[in-house]
Amino acid sequence: MTVQSSNPTPSCFAGDNLLKNKWIDRFLRSRWYPGIIQWPTLFIFMVIMFQLLLGPATAHDNLGTALTWVLWWPLIPIIFLFLGRFWCAICPFATINDLVQKFVGNNRPVPRFLKKYGIWIIDASFIFITWSDHVWGVVANPVGSGILLLTLTTGVVASGAFFERRMFCRHLCFLGGLAGNYAQAGMLSLHATPEICAKCTTASCYKGTETVPGCPIFEFPRTMSSSANCVLCGDCLKNCPNGSIQLTLRPPTKELWFVHKPKVEAAFLAAVIMGIVLVQNLTMLDVWGSALSWLESVTGTTSYYVNFSITFLVAIILPVSLLGWASFVATKYNNASFADNFTRFGYAIIALDLSAHIAHNLFHMLAEGKSIVYTGLALFGVPSHGASAALVSTPVIQMLQFGLVGFGFLGSLYIVYRIADTYHQDEVVWATFKPYAILMGGLGILNIVLFTLPMSMRM
C-alpha cells in the first residue's frame, strides 16, 4: 500500500520550526510528556469533582465551582489561542479514556455515522449544554456542575472501554467543535513535512509503534491540512522515524485566511458560538430582568423554560441569519453559490467569536479571580470575611474587553478580505468584502454595547 503525499507545506503552517530548539524538542519527545502535566491535571480534576459533589452546597463557597467556572472555563479559549488544542492533550477526560482503554479496551472501530455526523452531534450537544446551564443552573449549582462532569466521565469511560483511541474526544466531546474552530485561529501549529513524508513507508505517526501509540485523535499528519484536530500530544513526533514533524508559531487566525476544505458545520458553529456569547452576556446583565418581564408579557407565560428558550433561539438564529444575509448579498457580486459563500466566509466569524468569548470570560476571571483563593483557604478554615474577589477594577476589565473585541473585529475583517482575495479578483474582492464587513461590524458593535453594561458574577 502506498499513500499519496499531500501538497507542499500549506502556507498556514509556514514558520520557524520550534523543534529546532533542543529543549522544546527534548521535552516533547520525552516519555514524561504529556504525562507530567496530564496526571496533576487529573488530580486537580478529582479535587474539583469531590468539591462539586460533596463540598459546600452553594457556588459562592465551592472551590470546585471556582476552579471550573472562574479559572478553567475562561482559560480554555486563551489556551486555544496561544497553544491550539494543547488542552485536549492533558484533559482529564482523555486521561480517563486512555486508562480505561489500557485495561479493558475493546478497541472497536468508530461507528460510521459518527465519522459522518459527529461534528453535528458535537454542535448540538454544545448548544444543549449551554441551554441547560441556563434553565437548570449548572454553573450556579455545584452538584449540577458535578453531574455534568460525571456524565462526561461516563461518556469517556464508555468510549475508552468499547472503542478505539479517543473516539469521544474526536467525535463526541461538546467542546470539540469549538476547540477545532478556535485552534485554527491559534498561534501554534504541528504539521508534517510533505517532502519527507513522501518517502515514508511506515506511517508510524498514525499507526503507532511498540512504545508509543498512534495519533489518539485519528489524524494523519501526512495529509493533515488543518490544526482543528491536532491536540499536540507529541505521539507523532515520538513515532516518526524521519524527523518529519514540525512545530511552528504563526500569527493568530493565519490558518483561517485560506481554509483548505471549508465545512458548512464549522461555519454554522462559528455563527452559533457568536449567538451563544451574546446570550451569555445578555442573561448576566441587569437589564435581563426587564427583558424577561417584557417577554413574559408577550408570551403570556412566566415559564423560564419557555422564555429563555425563545431568547436562546433568537440569539442563535440572529448571527446565522446575518451570515446568511451577507452570503446572499455576496452572491450578487461574486457568482459563487450561497452555500459556498456561507461556508467559506463563516470561518471569518471565528476571530470575533474567540475575542468575544475571551472578553466575556475575562470578566469572570478578573472580577472573581480571588474567589479561587478564598474558597481554597476556606477548606483550611481560613475565612475571607467577604473580601472583594476582584483582581482588577471594572473599568480596567472593560478596557480589556473593548480592546479584545476590537482585535477580534479587525481579525475577522482581515480574514474576510483574505478569503475574498483567494477566491475572487479585482473589484469582486471588495464587493464581496462589503456585506461581510457590515456583518462583522454589527456583531462587534453588539458585543461592545453589551460589555458596557454592568454584568453579574458567577460565584
Residues at the contact surface with another protein, assessed by CB under 8 A: 1-4, 6, 46, 50, 53-54, 56-58, 60-61, 99-100, 103-107, 109-110, 143, 146-147, 150, 153-154, 157-158, 161-162, 164-165, 203, 206-208, 214, 218-220, 222-223, 378, 381, 383, 385-386, 456-457
| Distance of closest approach, residue 415 Cβ to another protein, in angstroms | 26
Q: How far is the CB of 95 from another protein (least distance, A)?
A: 14
User: What are the start-end ranges of the H helices in 92-164?
Assistant: 92-104, 112-136, 142-162
Backbone angles phi, psi at 253, to 5 degrees: 75, 0
C-alpha dist (Å) from residue 145 to 48, 70, 294: 10, 13, 30
Nearer to another protein, 424 or 458 (CB): 458
Residue 207 or 332: which CB sits closer to another protein? 207
Cell 441556563 belongs to residue? 134
Nearer to another protein, 138 or 330 (CB): 138
Q: Residue 72 or residue 220: which is nearer to another protein going by CB?
A: 220
Cα 136 to Cα 59, 76, 79, distances in angstroms: 14, 23, 28
Q: How far apart are CA 44 and CA 75, in angstroms?
A: 15
For another protein, which is the closer residue by CB, 155 or 411? 155
| Minimum CB distance to another protein, residue 285 (Å) | 11
CB 365 → another protein: shortest distance, Å? Answer: 17
CB of residue 209 vs another protein: minimum separation in angstroms? Answer: 12
Residue 374 vs 436, nearer CB to another protein: 374
Q: Is 56 helix (H, G, I), strand (E, B) or coil?
A: coil
Cβ neighbours, 10 Å, residue 408: 28
Q: Which residue has the cell 452555500?
A: 339
Where does residue 111 fall: left (phi above 0), alpha (psi -120 to 50 degrees), or beta otherwise?
beta
The distance of closest approach from Cβ of residue 341 to another protein in the complex, given in angstroms and rounded to an integer, is 27
- Residue 335, sorted as left (phi over 0), alpha (psi -120 to 50) or beta, turns out to be left
Picking from 99, 130, 74, the residue whose alpha carbon sits closest to that of residue 404 is 74
Quote the least distance from Cβ 356 to another protein, whole Å: 22
Closer by beta carbon to another protein, 167 or else 415: 167
Minimum CB separation of residue 112 from another protein in Å reads 11
CB of 204 to another protein, least distance (A): 11
Measured CA to CA, the distance from residue 316 to residue 276 in angstroms comes to: 6
Of 84, 67, 88, the closest CA to residue 173 belongs to 88
CA atoms within 13 A on the CB side of 249: 7
Rounded CA-CA distance 2/203 in Å is: 10
CB distance 444 to 274 below 8 Å: no
Comparing CB distances to another protein, the nearer of 44 and 457 is: 457
The dihedral region occupied by 455, where left means phi > 0, alpha psi between -120 and 50, and beta the remainder, is beta
Residue 22 CB, shortest distance to another protein, in Å, is 31
Q: Which is nearer to another protein, 46 or 298 (CB)?
A: 46
Q: Minimal distance in Å, beta carbon 61 to another protein? A: 4
Three-point CA angle 171, 239, 111, nearest 5°: 20
> In the complex with another protein, which residue's Cβ is closer, 90 or 224?
224
Alpha carbons 419 and 345: distance in angstroms, whole number: 7
Closest CA to 12 of 343, 418, 429, 425: 418
Q: Of the two residues 98 and 421, which places its CB atom closer to another protein in the complex? A: 98
Contacts of 385 (CB under 8 A, 6+ apart): none
Q: What angle do CA 443, 331, 12 make, to 5 degrees?
A: 65
